[in-house]
Amino acid sequence: MELPFAESWKIKMVEPIRKSTREEREQWLREAKNNVFMLRAEQVYIDLLTDSGTGAMSDRQWSAMMTGDESYSGARSFFELKDTITRLTGFQYVIPTHQGRAAENVLFSYLVRKGSVVPGNAHFDTTKGHIESRRAKAIDVTVPEARDTQRELPFKGNVSLELTKKVLEENKGNVPFFVLTVTNNTVGGQPVSMQNIRETSALCHKYGVPVVMDSARFAENAYFIKTREAGYQDKTIKEIAREMFSYVDCMTMSSKKDGLVNMGGFIATNREDWYEGCKLYCIPYEGFITYGGMNGRDMAALAVGLDENTEFDMLDTRIRQVQYLAQKLDEYGIPYQRPAGGHAIFVDADRVLDRIPKEEFPAQTLTCELYLEAGIRACEIGYILADRDPFTRENRFGGLDLVRLCIPRRVYTDNHMNVVAAALKNVYDRRHEISRGLRITKEAPLMRHFTVELERL
Ligand code: F0G
């Protein structure tokens, strides 16, 4: 008999979690103004809000914490981290930051000006926020097929070369860089192929536009290249990652994802001018250039995490768990962005709650229903997160309205996935009874989803 698949790790430390009653959850959600970001973590049974900073560190990472060097400048832990990043990416200059958005803040402070145009394959919300808050424009040039949730494509996160060419042509001299996000979180954790990375970079470089890779989930992207793209089957994840980075000019990193740590980020590049420019912003915003917002011990743990998570078995365990949840949803007929992404399943809320108009936020409503059903916290990646257009102040209803079931690394078992799928099925089975959604009662001018307040209609 062929042996079944199992995790490539075993569990050394556990944290109890608790179920609640429906009555408790109704009260808690009311108090949280129907925004799951406002819940207390103890009010959640299975937390799929994000895979960011929520993973479990390994014994090797914890032991690296003990040897962290906390020197203000020139810490050994910084050089351990820098050497690891250089080995994995080929980039010589490394600036640590406290998380991914801080890396964006430092780099964009140097490069983005009012009126700049920054194309990319579906900028993450903080990335878009850092562009728009500088009165610049973020233009999404993801392949249009990504918007058809039922279409199965191996690299649905790809950049449309045609759209990119048009933007570069129309904005000559005004594009400081292109943001290439791997995997493409916003369209469902979908990967970008090596061919597309190569061709996008070649096109941008032809127009003299540098490429910044938003690398939060670069290792998961490399896994998909290895398992889906011809010619990469026999290459290691580390070889593939190195090739991905070889085509771009710079990377910003949220280490809270594929770095397997709870907090951290960095910028890495071979461009000396950018390094010099970033240093000027790193020091006042983040901290001195050999710690930039990170503890020495956290840099030490990150160096180990980056190494661990660029090994095939680690990624195979993780991505198979996401695919396991997807199979369950297939059994129950629940529509999601196909195929399953690297870090999450994105349920197509528009198709599930099809009686609820866009103006009443179907994905946010489904997020609330799933919490009420079983204490599962998912996250809306839809019309609320899309924010208002900064120029017209109209809601942006043009994109997808998804509920993200985002799976932390090395935290939950497949039994938890069974509970998530069953809870979602229960909501799905009574979807026709859900005919009204939510109305916003309070919202921030930018990145409103974190603090938005809503009432049930
Ligand atoms: N880029 C991408 C693709 C991301 O997914 C994130 C964060 C960031 C940048 C910003 O990094 O959180 O360290 O400041 N994504 C998290 C998420 C928050 O839930 O998807 P950060």
Which tens digits make up the pLDDT trace of 196-243?
Answer: 999 999 999 999 999 999 999 999 999 999 999 999 999 999 999 999
- Which atom of ligand 1 has the smallest separation from the CA of 181? 3
The Å distance, Cα 330 to ligand 1 centre, comes to 28
Catalytic residues: 72, 124-125, 214, 216, 257, 449
**Distance from C-alpha of 210 to C-alpha of 197, rounded to nearest angstrom:** 13
> pTM value?
0.96
Q: What local confidence, expressed as pLDDT, does residue 2 receive?
A: 95
Q: What local confidence, expressed as pLDDT, does residue 399 receive?
A: 87
- Which atom of ligand 1 has the smallest separation from the CA of 102? 14
The Å distance, Cα 429 to ligand 1 centre, comes to 32
- Give every residue of the chain whose pLDDT is below 50, as ranges: none
Strands (E), 219-294: 250-254, 265-269
66 within 8 A of 295, measured Cβ to Cβ:
no
Helices 296-308 & 76-89 angle (0-180, nearest 10): 30
**Closest alpha carbon to 291 in 91, 84, 102, 75:** 75
**Distance from C-alpha of 263 to C-alpha of 253, rounded to nearest angstrom:** 11
| Ligand 1 probe mutation, 105, 121, 124, most atoms within 8 A of CB | 124
Beta bridge partners of 137: 117
3-state secondary structure of 277: helix
Beta bridge partners of 120: 140, 179
3-state secondary structure of 253: strand
Q: What local confidence, expressed as pLDDT, does residue 318 receive?
A: 98
Q: What local confidence, expressed as pLDDT, does residue 356 receive?
A: 96
Instruction: Count CB neighbours of 31 within 10 A.
Output: 12
76 within 8 A of 69, measured Cβ to Cβ:
yes
| Ligand 1 probe mutation, 50, 52, 192, 377, most atoms within 8 A of CB | 52
In angstroms, the Cα distances linking 130 to 95, 116, 135, 263 are 18, 12, 9, 19
**Distance from C-alpha of 257 to C-alpha of 116, rounded to nearest angstrom:** 29
Beta bridge partners of 148: none
Q: What local confidence, expressed as pLDDT, does residue 446 receive?
A: 85
**Distance from C-alpha of 373 to C-alpha of 69, rounded to nearest angstrom:** 46
The Å distance, Cα 254 to ligand 1 centre, comes to 6
Backbone angles phi, psi at 295, to 5 degrees: -75, 155
In this predicted model, what pLDDT tens digit does every residue of 14-62 receive, in sequence order?
Answer: 999 999 999 999 999 999 999 999 999 999 999 999 999 999 999 999 9
How would DSSP label each residue in 319-346? Answer: HHHHHHHHHHHHHHT--BSSS--SSEEE
Establish whether the linkage from the previous residue to 408 is cis, with ω within 30° of 0: no
Q: At 244, which amino acid appears?
A: M
- 136-153 burial, b at 16+ Cβ within 10 Å, e below that, comes to bbbbbbbbeebeebeeeb
User: Which tokens hold the place of 386?
Assistant: 């899309």
163 within 8 A of 204, measured Cβ to Cβ:
no
Q: What local confidence, expressed as pLDDT, does residue 201 receive?
A: 98
- Which atom of ligand 1 has the smallest separation from the CA of 103? 14
- Which atom of ligand 1 has the smallest separation from the CA of 99? 13
Q: What local confidence, expressed as pLDDT, does residue 447 receive?
A: 87
Q: What local confidence, expressed as pLDDT, does residue 89 receive?
A: 98
The Å distance, Cα 331 to ligand 1 centre, comes to 30
Q: What local confidence, expressed as pLDDT, does residue 390 receive?
A: 83
| Ligand 1 environment, Cβ below 6 A | 50, 52, 99-101, 124, 126-127, 181, 185, 214, 216, 254, 256, 265
**Closest alpha carbon to 271 in 250, 292, 289, 243:** 250
How would DSSP label each residue in 108-132? Answer: HHHH--TT-EEEESS--HHHHHHHH
